[in-house]
Amino acid sequence: MGVSIENFIKSRRPRWQRLEALVEALEQEKGGRLAGRQLLEVGRLYREATSDLARLQTFRKEGMPPEDLEVYLNHLVARAYGQIYRSPPAGFGSLRIFLGSTFPKTFQDTAPWTLLAMGIFLAGFIYGFAATLTDDSFIPLIVPSRLIQQVEEGKVWFDSILAVSPLASSMIMTNNISVTFLAFASGMTFGLGTIYMMAFNGLLVGTLAGLCHTHGLDGAFWSFVLPHGVIELTAIFIGGGGGLLLGSALLSPGDLPRKEALIVKGRKAVRLVLGCIPLLVTAGIVEGFFSPAPLPAWLKFSVAALLLALLFRYLLSRPTKAPSS
Model confidence pLDDT, tens digit, residues 184-231:
888 889 999 999 999 999 999 999 999 999 999 999 999 999 999 999
Residue 93 lies in a domain: no
Residue 293 lies in a domain: yes
Query: Rounded mean pLDDT of the chain?
Result: 83
In terms of domains, do 40 and 134 share one?
no
Amino acid 146: pLDDT: 85
In terms of domains, do 26 and 102 share one?
no
* Residues in CB range of 47: below 8 A, 6 or more apart: none
Model confidence over 120-145: pLDDT tens digits? 999 999 999 999 999 888 999 988 88
Whether the predicted pLDDT of 282 surpasses 80: yes
Residue 90 lies in a domain: no
- Region 253-265: what's the mean pLDDT? 82
Amino acid 325: pLDDT: 42
User: Range with the lowest mean pLDDT among 73-87, 143-157, 214-228, 253-267?
Assistant: 73-87
Domain boundary among 84, 113, 134: 84
The maximal CA–CA distance of the chain, rounded, in angstroms, is 100
Residue 234 lies in a domain: yes
Amino acid 298: pLDDT: 95
Model confidence over 90-121: pLDDT tens digits? 556 677 888 888 899 999 999 999 999 999 99
Range of the domain at 210: 98-315
Whether the predicted pLDDT of 4 surpasses 60: yes
Amino acid 206: pLDDT: 94
Helices (H) and strands (E) in the chain, counts: 13, 0
Written as one string, the DSSP assignment of 159-191 is GGGGGGHHHHHHHHHHHHHHHHHHHHHGGGGTT
Amino acid 42: pLDDT: 80
- Region 159-168: what's the mean pLDDT? 52
Amino acid 1: pLDDT: 45
In terms of domains, do 117 and 73 share one?
no
User: Please, are residues 191 and 241 in contact by the beta-carbon 8 Å criterion?
Assistant: no
In terms of domains, do 172 and 35 share one?
no
Domain boundary among 28, 52, 84: 84
Q: How many CB atoms lie within 10 A of CB 94?
A: 13
Amino acid 57: pLDDT: 66
* Residues in CB range of 189: below 8 A, 6 or more apart: 247
Residue 153 lies in a domain: yes
Whether the predicted pLDDT of 9 surpasses 90: no
Residue 325 lies in a domain: no
Percent of the chain with pLDDT over 70: 82
Closest CA to 264 of 275, 274, 252: 252
- Region 34-43: what's the mean pLDDT? 70
Distance CA 223, CA 306 (A): 14
Whether the predicted pLDDT of 155 surpasses 90: no
What band does 321 get if pLDDT is binned at 50, 70 and 90? very low
Residue 108 lies in a domain: yes
Number of structural domains (the chain) is 2
- Region 284-292: what's the mean pLDDT? 86
In terms of domains, do 79 and 122 share one?
no
User: Please, are residues 231 and 305 in contact by the beta-carbon 8 Å criterion?
Assistant: no
In terms of domains, do 154 and 23 share one?
no
Closest CA to 202 of 233, 244, 241, 171: 233
Amino acid 59: pLDDT: 65
Percent of the chain with pLDDT over 90: 39
Amino acid 51: pLDDT: 83
What band does 253 get if pLDDT is binned at 50, 70 and 90? confident
In terms of domains, do 139 and 75 share one?
no
Residue 207 lies in a domain: yes
Domain boundary among 84, 113, 139: 84
Q: What is the pTM of this model?
A: 0.69
In terms of domains, do 267 and 121 share one?
yes
In terms of domains, do 150 and 198 share one?
yes
What band does 29 get if pLDDT is binned at 50, 70 and 90? low
In terms of domains, do 260 and 204 share one?
yes
In terms of domains, do 30 and 133 share one?
no
More confident residue, 68 or 266: 266
In terms of domains, do 58 and 194 share one?
no
What SS3 class is residue 310?
helix
